[in-house]
Amino acid sequence: MAFTAIHPEYGRIDATLGNLGCGLDWSQVHRVRPRINLTCPECEWGVHAKHSSRGLRFFAHNAKRPADCQLSNESVEHHLLKLELATAIRQAGWYAELEVRADGGSWRADVLASSLDGTRRMAWEAQLSAITVEELRERTARYLDEGIGVCWVSPRGEVPWLSSVAAVRVTAPKEDSHVWTVADGLAKFMPRLGSWVRVSDIDLTTFVRWALKEQVTPHTILPRYRRVRLKPEGNLSRRSLCWASPKSTAAESRHEQMRSRQDEQKKRRQERERVEQELKLLEEKARKEEEERRRSIEREAEAEKARERLQAQRDQWEADRKERLARAEEQRRIEEERARKAEQARLAQERHEREAATRWWSELSGEQWQDLLAAIGEFSAQERAGKAYPDKQGVDAEYAFGVPVMARRGLYGIARPSPESVKNWNAYYRLRIFVRNQREADLITAQGVDPTLVVHFDLPDFEQLNLC
Ligand SMILES: [Zn+2]
């Protein structure tokens, strides 16, 4: 079916217009005899005027039409939408032409709207079948090249290209209504929400009027606002294009400026914070360096103190060493003195003992000495030690100024040691001591000599007295 046809005399006629667009009445083409030779503007096949049971007027192709005629292949729904668009355009006070083809064939509009003064044109495309975004853009570009605006209108449930070209999604009238509604593609900017919100309750006639009068225009949404709310409190849908009023686009622009200012302020604040942070870091660094410098000075002072302490310690050690040396020197001197005195005492003792020994021996005559030796010899013989005899060295200072007496087995005893010199006899010699008589033995033992070591004979002290 088609709403337009080519009349052999009047040219293009339009079934949607009361006068068919050329001053003819419907009755002049519908069921007239002889039959008028009407043709399809698309395929040039013969068509005839017809109307539906509800009174919708159209042109139907005659039998054996070409299979590829787009007009004849379009669905009833497609035609109804075109008719609705044409009606809305005419209600807005514009011309509406259906199924119009460009002279060069670069486009074919479902409905072409033209302003009364002929300065503006806008194509309205009822797009029911699936189509790619690329094809839509290409066709849109072809219209724009000739200064023709375009709006794609689809009654499909899902319209994937809604945000890619200037388009709206519409819903067909419900059973009890004749009103087509724009369900999607139109939006208003709500500054309160800082967001675009879809408008889905505008009837198609109103939308067409607004679009023609540029009360709404295709608007490329600023990047910041491309998450469009489907309802004020509803879900979000990503969109880059919508139909919008100048008021909304201005509101978006103002909001964008505000957000830019906020961004700028935020950036400035961040920059200020960054600078402050940097300053703080620098101050912190300087503080640490100062701290380090102070510590370094303290450490140096500590080290200096330690050096001083060490030096004091060394001085103390040196003083101590000198004192020790002095004390040692003093000690040595005392020792020397003591040794010297001891030596003097020893020499005095020795001298004394020698003098005592000299006196001791001077008491004795040669005969007395011979008597004593004879008594010792007798004694040793009795002891079966052999006859004892004096060592030829005579008086020996080594044996307390006595005379060593030899027998068969060597040293047999000491004859007559000096009583002044026998003090340590028990400890040193424990040799037998031979003296002349009890008096001499008493002199010896009076010095502490073990009496068992002392052997005496009853030899007279004073020979001279006996002689007298
Ligand atoms: Zn045709």
Distance of CA 24 to the CA centre of its chain: 87
Give, for 455, the enclosing helix (H) or strand (E): strand 454-456
Residue 252 placed within a domain? no
pLDDT digit string, tens, across residues 159-182: 889 989 999 999 988 877 889 999
Among residues 213, 244, 275, which one ends one of the domains? 244
Mean of the pLDDT values across residues 200-210?
95
- How much of the chain exceeds pLDDT 90, in percent? 75
Number of structural domains found in the chain = 4
For ligand 1, the distance from its centroid to the CA atom of residue 172, given in whole angstroms, is 26
Among residues 312, 340, 362, which one ends one of the domains? 362
Whether 146 has a pLDDT exceeding 80, the answer reads yes
Beta bridge partners of 410: 407
Q: In this structure, are 122 and 213 located in the same domain?
A: yes
Residue 303 placed within a domain? yes
Task: Give the model's pLDDT for residue 266.
Answer: 93
For ligand 1, the distance from its centroid to the CA atom of residue 221, given in whole angstroms, is 40
For ligand 1, the distance from its centroid to the CA atom of residue 71, given in whole angstroms, is 5
Q: In this structure, are 328 and 422 located in the same domain?
A: no
Q: In this structure, are 90 and 225 located in the same domain?
A: yes
For ligand 1, the distance from its centroid to the CA atom of residue 50, given in whole angstroms, is 15
For ligand 1, the distance from its centroid to the CA atom of residue 44, given in whole angstroms, is 6
Task: Give the model's pLDDT for residue 463.
Answer: 55
Read off the tokens for 435: 């003296």
pLDDT digit string, tens, across residues 258-300: 999 999 999 999 999 999 999 999 999 999 999 999 999 999 9
For ligand 1, the distance from its centroid to the CA atom of residue 88, given in whole angstroms, is 25
Q: In this structure, are 337 and 353 located in the same domain?
A: yes
Residue 85 placed within a domain? yes
Q: In this structure, are 29 and 17 located in the same domain?
A: yes
Q: In this structure, are 234 and 347 located in the same domain?
A: no
Task: Give the model's pLDDT for residue 7.
Answer: 94
Q: In this structure, are 97 and 239 located in the same domain?
A: yes
Q: In this structure, are 384 and 341 located in the same domain?
A: no
Residue identified by tokens 């192709």 is 61
CA dist., res. 418 & res. 354, Å (int): 9
CA neighbor of 245 nearest in space, from 182, 280, 196, 287: 196
For ligand 1, the distance from its centroid to the CA atom of residue 9, given in whole angstroms, is 19
For ligand 1, the distance from its centroid to the CA atom of residue 60, given in whole angstroms, is 9
Q: In this structure, are 34 and 168 located in the same domain?
A: no
For ligand 1, the distance from its centroid to the CA atom of residue 36, given in whole angstroms, is 16
Q: In this structure, are 297 and 185 located in the same domain?
A: no
CA dist., res. 328 & res. 321, Å (int): 10
For ligand 1, the distance from its centroid to the CA atom of residue 169, given in whole angstroms, is 28
First to last CA, the chain: 207
Q: In this structure, are 309 and 446 located in the same domain?
A: no
Task: Give the model's pLDDT for residue 72.
Answer: 82
Whether 467 has a pLDDT exceeding 60, the answer reads no
For ligand 1, the distance from its centroid to the CA atom of residue 14, given in whole angstroms, is 14
pLDDT digit string, tens, across residues 267-276: 999 999 999 9
pLDDT digit string, tens, across residues 52-90: 888 889 999 999 888 888 888 888 888 889 999 999 999
Whole-Å CA distances, 171 to 98, 201, 429:
21, 10, 153
Pair 120, 114: CB distance under 8 Å: yes
CA dist., res. 411 & res. 405, Å (int): 6
pLDDT digit string, tens, across residues 305-324: 999 999 999 999 999 999 99
Which range in 88-97, 177-186, 380-389 is most confidently predicted, on average pLDDT? 88-97
Residue ranges near ligand 1 (ion) with Cβ within 5 Å: 40, 42-43, 69, 71-72
For ligand 1, the distance from its centroid to the CA atom of residue 5, given in whole angstroms, is 9
For ligand 1, the distance from its centroid to the CA atom of residue 46, given in whole angstroms, is 8
Residue 37 placed within a domain? yes
For ligand 1, the distance from its centroid to the CA atom of residue 171, given in whole angstroms, is 28
- How much of the chain exceeds pLDDT 70, in percent? 99
Query: Which residues make Cβ contacts (< 8 Å) with residue 218, sequence separation at least 6?
Result: 151, 166, 241, 242, 243
Domain that holds residue 438: 363-467
Whether 468 has a pLDDT exceeding 70, the answer reads no
Q: Mind giving me the DSSP string for 71-96? A: HHHS-HHHHHHHHHHHHHHHHTT-EE
Residue 253 placed within a domain? no
For ligand 1, the distance from its centroid to the CA atom of residue 109, given in whole angstroms, is 15
CA dist., res. 255 & res. 324, Å (int): 99
- The 3 state secondary structure assigned to 299-363 is HHHHHHHHHHHHHHHHHHHHHHHHHHHHHHHHHHHHHHHHHHHHHHHHHHHHHHHHHHHHHHHHC
Q: In this structure, are 202 and 287 located in the same domain?
A: no
Q: What is the mean pLDDT of the chain?
A: 92
Mean of the pLDDT values across residues 111-133?
94
Task: Give the model's pLDDT for residue 130.
Answer: 86
Residue 258 placed within a domain? no
pLDDT digit string, tens, across residues 326-369: 999 999 999 999 999 999 998 998 899 999 999 999 988 888 99
For ligand 1, the distance from its centroid to the CA atom of residue 280, given in whole angstroms, is 82
Residue 61 placed within a domain? yes
Task: Give the model's pLDDT for residue 18.
Answer: 85
Residue 259 placed within a domain? no
Among residues 362, 392, 423, which one ends one of the domains? 362
